[in-house]
Structure 1
Amino acid sequence: MFFVYILECSDKSLYTGYTNSLEERLKLHNSGKASKYTRSRLPVEIIYFEEYDTKSEAMSRECEIKALNRPEKINLINSLKPGSF
């Protein structure tokens, strides 16, 4: 199983990535070892994720989400988590 996720950083910015373990990836992000972007914006929290069967599917979806602007990402997040923003 692979996951595409969106993090909310401490400065309220959003970060999108993919992984095969959400729990481990979140630990890495919050320890400052997963991403140069999130390292200076700790702590981070997973606020959205999708599951995929293959790495290829997850990576494709990650690219799609990264191409969205902030309002579009918030709409995506809110589509599954009403009232989260």
Structure 2
Amino acid sequence: MVSAILFFVVFMMEMDKSIKVVNWVWSDLFRATTGAAVYLITSLICLIHRTGDGARIAGVLFGLLAGILFAYDVYTIFLVIKSNRQ
């Protein structure tokens, strides 16, 4: 989540246009991929353990939602990369 905030600040302040050393599209793809993997794996581990308290159930639901949103972000970034190559 911290890396998502950092990338948000970089893109919001348009620092990606002034810093040419980093390939921002590929870095954003890496951030979204690792975020999706971490959220989905952590949520699935909590889902498998089946301790029925409300906090864990809410954590599983929000974690799965965040993982799905990060996976959608990976898909949209992949489409941008694919369109830039053509």
Same-fold call, TM cutoff 0.5: no
TM-score by length of 2: 0.26
TM-score by length of 1: 0.26
Bigger radius of gyration, 1 or 2? 2
- From the two aligned structures, give the one with the greater strand fraction: 1
